[in-house]
Amino acid sequence: MLTGAWFGCALLASLLFFLTSSSDVVVAGHDAVVSPDLSGRAVLHTGPVLPDVRVDSGSVVGVDIRLGKTDATSIDDLVQRYALLASQPEGQVEKVTDAVQAMALDAVLRGAVVALVPVGVWLLLGAARRRELAARVGVREAVAGVAVLSLLAVALWQPWTDPDDPVQAGEQWEPLATFLGPEVPLPAGLDGIEVRGDVTTESTHRLIESAVSTYDTSKTFYAAAADAAADLPLRDPRDGETVVAFVSDRHDNIGMDPVAQAVADTAGAKAVFDGGDDTSTGKSWETFSLDSLDAAFGDLDRWGVSGNHDHGDVVRDYLAARGWTMLDGEVVDGPAGTTLLGVDDPRSSGLGNWRDETGLSFADVADRIADAACASDERVTTILVHDANLGAAALDRGCADLVLGGHTHVRAGPERVEGADGAVGYTYTTGTTGGAAYAIALGSKPRRAADVSLVTYRDGRPAGIQWVTLQSDGSFDTGNWVPLHYPD
């Protein structure tokens, strides 16, 4: 009986805690407040200028998302960002889902603890004292007690509170197709979306129409590319070989993530290297790009470094918290029994940090990487850096097999380097995975050729490299698999 009573109290308390909880999350480049409910819908409140959006959540649990401040420089940029995120929503959906699940878990734990209070009081009173109190409590007192507890619960829940802004209170939800009118064809996948707002100005209507067009173009282009990647003539790994996908310089282009994932899947990749410059500035509003990257490669073993555009610690800390091994100048275990060394680009912080030391130049950091490689008890298989020049000194000293980098946005190598004492290594620079021509590559298609490289390991050493390029017209180019030869 006590177990049943505890469970019932815990269920009611957990539900109350859950429905009154909220979480601060960065969504779509905004500081946002996410609140769960039982509406069965996901509602996005965009603010006073743009329409709010509502869609079925697929379950009884719904979510209310209120967008706050952002670093977008104009409404135009904001609307285009929304459209591109809507075309590749997996990262943002996963982030909000994780936030709701965390609130649910917290509510269950708090409810379970709170439910122990009445059970504990019951046991502490004992049978004799409970009978004595029961004899004194009449129907009137019992009804009053239940009423007080109910009023407290309702006061905490506050179901009368209108979640809508006063301006929105009189506006009705309507299908997006009705909202835009018959002159705007609606792409597949948007038929379940409802919006609420006032499109009384021509400029606002053009913004929404442009967003729908951008969504359609982006969704169509990248979906077709991801499908085509499944048929690429890539080299199949032999027995005992492990393939690692290598991406770099994404510069916020989340559209390329499912394409890179498809290339990795087709090649049979078991891990991924990230060469940095996932963002344009390293600011927290760009975590949508990191969410997308993690959603694409979350099932693989993951290593990475930050690039010169990933200013500060946001990128490093965010990916590390999601299971990425972010290299910091120490030799670590890499894929397939290899050793791996790497460090963030010294220009990303403006200080040239080497672990805890500041004031180091690019050349200083390159020397420190070489020192770490040469001092390693095991030969370093791979040096992963944003700029391959950071690993040049290590190759010259003969202390590493392969240096991988990006930064230049132009593919180069693999180039054979003969170091000290006849030791052989290779340096390879991959092109921009985001198809970036500038610091930010977010768009409905790549601005230039977008690259994904595939590194094969065998017997604990690099065995070969193959590259794949997606052109801006949607066609693919595939390089030959280039073997890497080392002296016995």
Please write the tens of the pLDDT for every residue from 61-120.
999 988 887 766 666 666 666 766 676 777 788 888 888 999 999 999 988 888 887 777
CA 218 to chain centre: 19
Yes or no: say if 342 and 305 are a contact pair by the CB < 8 Å rule.
yes
Q: What is the average per-residue pLDDT within 171-190?
A: 72
Amino acid at 337: G
Residues 6+ apart with CB under 8 A from 365: 343, 346, 352, 354, 390
* pLDDT above 70 (res 215): no
The whole-number pLDDT of residue 357 equals: 44
Phi, psi of 39 (to 5 degrees): -80, -20
- Could you tell me what percent of the chain has a pLDDT over 90? 40
3-state secondary structure labels for all residues of the chain: CHHHHHHHHHHHHHHHHHHCCCEEEEECCEEEEEEEECCCEEEEECCCCCCEEEEECCCCCEEEEEEEEECCCCHHHHHHHHHHHHHCCHHHHHHHHHHHHHHHHHHHHHHHHHHHHHHHHHHHHHHHHHHHHHHHCCHHHHHHHHHHHHHHHHHHHCCCCCCCCHHHCCCCCEEHHHHHCCCCCCCCCCCCCEEECCCCCHHHHHHHHHHHHHHHHHHHHHHHHHHHHCCCCCCCCCCCEEEEEEECCCCCCCCHHHHHHHHHHHHCEEEEEECCCCCCCCCHHHHHHHHHHHHHHCCCEEEECCCCCCCCCHHHHHHHCCCCEECCCCCEECHHHCEEEECCCCCCCCCCCECCECCCCHHHHHHHHHHHHHHCCCCEEEEECCCHHHHHHHHHCCCEEEEEECCCCCCEEEEEEECHHHCEEEEEECCCCCCCCCCCCCCCCCCCCEEEEEEEEECCEEEEEEEEEECCCCCEEECCCEECCCCC
Across-strand partners of 81? Answer: none
Which residue has tokens 């006032």?
198
The whole-number pLDDT of residue 44 equals: 86
Q: What is the average per-residue pLDDT within 246-269?
A: 93
Please write the tens of the pLDDT for every residue from 129-169.
656 655 666 556 555 555 655 666 555 555 555 555 544 54
Please write the tens of the pLDDT for every residue from 356-381.
444 677 888 888 999 999 999 999 99
Q: What is the average per-residue pLDDT within 395-403?
A: 95
Yes or no: say if 341 and 327 are a contact pair by the CB < 8 Å rule.
yes
Residues 6+ apart with CB under 8 A from 39: 57, 62
Q: What is the average per-residue pLDDT within 31-54?
A: 84
The whole-number pLDDT of residue 94 equals: 85
Q: What is the average per-residue pLDDT within 51-66?
A: 87
The whole-number pLDDT of residue 404 equals: 97
| Terminal-to-terminal C-alpha distance of the chain | 74
Yes or no: say if 259 and 468 are a contact pair by the CB < 8 Å rule.
no
* pLDDT above 70 (res 49): no
Please write the tens of the pLDDT for every residue from 431-481.
999 988 776 666 667 888 999 999 999 999 999 999 999 998 999 999 999
> Long-range contacts of range 65-68, CB-CB < 8 Å, 24 or more positions apart?
65/27, 65/32, 65/33, 65/34, 65/35, 65/96, 66/32, 66/33, 66/35, 67/27, 67/28, 67/30, 67/31, 67/32, 68/30, 68/31, 68/32, 68/33
- Is the pTM for the entire model greater than 0.85? no
Classify the C-alpha dihedral 69-71-74-80 as positive or negative: negative
CA 31 to chain centre: 15
Residue 354 pLDDT level (bands cut at 50, 70, 90): very low
Amino acid at 40: G
**Radius of gyration for the alpha carbons in the chain, expressed in angstroms and rounded:** 28
Phi, psi of 427 (to 5 degrees): -120, 140
Pairing of strands 450-458, 241-247: antiparallel
Return the higher-pLDDT residue of 268 and 172: 268
Q: Which of 47-61, 119-133, 278-292 has the lowest mean pLDDT?
A: 119-133
Cα 99 from Cα 109, distance rounded (Å): 16
The whole-number pLDDT of residue 361 equals: 79
Q: How many CB atoms lie within 10 A of CB 356?
A: 5
Q: What is the average per-residue pLDDT within 212-230?
A: 81
Please write the tens of the pLDDT for every residue from 414-429.
999 998 888 899 999 9
The whole-number pLDDT of residue 451 equals: 96
The whole-number pLDDT of residue 297 equals: 94
* pLDDT above 80 (res 204): no
Yes or no: say if 455 and 462 are a contact pair by the CB < 8 Å rule.
yes
Across-strand partners of 76? Answer: none
The token pair at 416 is 């054979």
Residue 339 pLDDT level (bands cut at 50, 70, 90): very high
Mean pLDDT, rounded, of the chain: 82
Classify the C-alpha dihedral 302-305-308-310 as positive or negative: positive
* pLDDT above 50 (res 352): no
